[in-house]
Amino acid sequence: MKTLFLAFLFALTASTALAMENQKTVCTHGSQQRIIEIVYTGEGEVPCEVHYTKDSGSQILWQAQGEAGYCEEKAAAFIEKQRGWGWDCETAIEIVIESAQ
């Protein structure tokens, strides 16, 4: 399923311009909640930051200024680590599509 979604996303970028919004993953374990969010601080994939929020507060775990894909890789690995610890994680990705004219 993930492969199909990624293939669709890449095919879509060939004919339109995409502006990705922040990617937010909510992990729950019982009544506890953790949020892992990729925050894009510019107009493209970089600069970006990976924010981690839990009851005790929020912190920036990683950031990138020029390496596209860095924040996404770090966030994905951290989400998998959370799942390994027994957390149930759901990711919401918002995509804004603008016509290429």
pTM of this prediction exceeds 0.75: no
Q: Which of 3, 87, 2 lies closest to 52 in space, CA to CA?
A: 87
Contact 71, 49 (CB under 8 A): yes
> What is the mean pLDDT of each successive set of 10 residues along the chain, which is 101 residues long?
41 47 94 96 91 97 95 97 97 62 54
What pLDDT is attached to residue 18?
A: 52
What pLDDT is attached to residue 43?
A: 84
Question: In this structure, what token pair is assigned to residue 69?
Answer: 């894909």
What pLDDT is attached to residue 42?
A: 86
Cis peptide preceding 47, ω within 30 of 0: yes
Sign of the torsion formed by the C-alpha atoms of 20, 52, 55 and 90: positive
* Domain ranges, ordered by start, for the chain: 2-99
